[in-house]
Structure 1
Amino acid sequence: MADREAIVNICWKRISEKSIVVAYSPLASHSKVENQDGGAMIRGSTQFVYLVTQMDDKTVDVTFGAHINFGGKLPSAIVNGIIIPQFVNALSQTQVHFINEIELEGLKENDGKLLGEIFVHQIKQARKRGGWKKRADLGKVGVDEFLYCSVAMREVLPLHPWLRVLLHEISMNRVKVAPTVHTALSDMKDDDAINLAKGLSTIIPSNTEASAAVDHWIAQNAALEEFEKKCAWIRPFFVELAQYNLSTSNFGLRLRVFGGALLSTIDVITDIYMTVHFFNTEGQSHFGRINAWLIGLTLFMQIFLSHLQNRTKPTIFFQDTFFTLIGFRPALDAYRVGSGAEQEDHHIVTPLQEMTFSKFLELVFEAIPSSVVQIYALLSIKEKKIDAIVSIVVSAATIEFSSAMLSYDWDTSPTNRKKQPMFYG
């Protein structure tokens, strides 16, 4: 691959009282430089534009755009694997530098998210220095490095020295029962901080969203509510920490989704068994036909949902269809959510939302109607068989579990709470 060079002209212009534009444009007036082999370098061109707007005395907003022409075709592996990541990394380092230089008084609510990302990154980097046995201690080292690098953190620690202990404990992510902390912010001690951290680690497993866990955590601890009034950035900051802990220790989420998947799968199997039983029992074939229609309608709706979700990915769609037809769709959804799968570009909803919709369809079109049919069939015969009772009990358990989880997720959803705080709290 030939050597490349680029020569640019830099100019700037003030477009308003608080905004300037800085532009880097290609300059072709200079002759090409010879490379080490004596040949001329390939002349590339770069165009960069920065829009810098002053927001207040200590904050500026920077909008950045770039167009790069390498003077020829480069392998995509080099562009996507080396060049673009270098640009992104440079921007990230710039962000980190400036956010670390902001004083405590200058931190805004939106800065908390970036601070949280830096905090998590620092912990990850620190833990790479040793094995799993040193994971806890190295996590604490990462916390201390973060607290040292940030000007705002160095200012907040003398005011709230317990914060260091709190962050140490959160980084360890130990799920233990802890009492609600009623201590006022001014009276907080290290022991209170430890209980706060344990409380967050205990709340996280029962939630599917980190923001919902933090909402719950702050609401039940008076000191945190008082702290947030003084420092609005702490909520998005702790959401990032909770998100990291949720992704690295999602036992509670996995227990929920796999438990629900197991119930749903058993429910489908027992319903199919009862459908066959109805067809083979004299005078009950009409119950079998109703059950068959309900199961078929549910499968069709779930396949249609999969089509909407993966309409541009036929391979994934056919895979989902196969698992749906053999009755293992709940297990597939549970695996995706439990393994931390994220929403891809071709998806219309997240994997968790897809699982929620699938369960809703199962409840509406199969679990509830089929239970009614089976109960009616059971009451219409004199001899009560154990297999029919087991099928009804499994369906009832599935309905109860799925309904409770759907209701809980909606009730604790931060989005719903923002839209309708009087209803969702």
Structure 2
Amino acid sequence: MSDMAITGLLVLTLFLLLGSGVWIGLTLAGVAWIGMELFSSRPAGDAMAVTIWGSASSWTLTALPLFVWMGEILFRTKLSESMFRGLAPWVNVLPGRLLHTNILGSTIFAAVSGSSAATCATIGKMTIPELSQRGYPPEKIVGSLGGASTLGLLIPPSIIMIVYGVAAEVSIAKLFVAGVLPGLLLAALFSGHLMVWALLNPDKVPKADAGLSFAQKLAESRHLIPVVLLIGGVIGTIYTGIATATEAAAVGVVGALILSASQGSLNAATFKASLLGATRLYCMIALILAGAAFLTLAMGYIGLPRHLAEFVGSLGLSPGALLLALALFYMLLGCFLDGISMIVLTMGVILPTVSAAGIDLIWFGIFVVIVVEMAQITPPVGFNLFVLQGMTKREITWIARVCAPYFLLMVLALLLLWWFPGLVNWLPSRM
């Protein structure tokens, strides 16, 4: 059977299983088992056992459940309320006024969460009622929240960066640091969009709240101190080389527990809820990772990555054309799969091609994360769309439409990173 026929059969099997509702991790493992059993001489059962054990016992992946737990702890604190009180006095003077709390709040919470959905839910439960009550347009409230909350994937610590770092065998600490400037760039683009809209539609922006003196603004900013200290503890230990990503994750969990206790949010019930929530989420991710590791191994034995790399190489695509093709591929894949599944399912095949094209894997990691961010607000499987639908009870199509400008701004960010790669590489090069 030809390579194209084998590939077509496995892809068809994959989508049939996914479409029938089988869990993603089990689907990946099942397709891998079929591939190895039919098209290779290696015993599938033995390979599956060894590969799944190896993927589950990775020390690097220890950071993943810790960052997930940190986000779950903070989700149950008064952090979002404190951030709103600290940010509101400063953004009142900007065109668009309090709409910027969605952007800045998401940017700050992304630095202690690592999850796009958690950022969306946490900031949304604070800003949607407040901004709606003050008369801001619903499409701008929901659109800015949907777009900005995707920063949870890009601004470190990021769960998906850990997954990519393990798959690509690159430094997770450098990936984290590489995401800082692109994350701030996206936040600036989002805020700039709101400013332009507000200047063109001044009648749709409610009047500013009563002005505060500079001293009063500083007094309100004290509510930002806990989250700034936590961000400094996590990111600072990585950037200075004091701790690895895994050790920094442990620092983050301890800091989140201290913050939760200081706010009076830590009790037996919230501790248990955060631990169980983190366990459920990580078990789902771990199953996907294990299935994807086995699928990657199976593809290697069958020879599909090598043949695909040879095929792409024979096309003579320039690095820019290759990245454009990959961006379109991931956008299409994002209509059906979540971000982590996209990463672990494709990296075994894509990375050899990217490396052969001379593209830096740290830069490519940030590129992939931004494309996955775009998939978070792309129907029908955009996770942020589901979170926003649950909070607003609006139609998915309406939510996707109001988030569309932020999708286009992410496209612009990708172009800027291509033209100015130093935005990604400058900070990691100084570590």
Shared topology, TM-score over 0.5? no
Q: Please classify the TM superposition score into its range, dividing by the shorter chain length.
A: under 0.3
User: TM-score, normalised to structure 1's length?
Assistant: 0.26
Which structure's CA Rg is the greater one? 1
Q: Which structure would you say has the larger RCO, counting Cα contacts within 8 Å and 6 or more residues apart? A: 2
More helix by share: 2
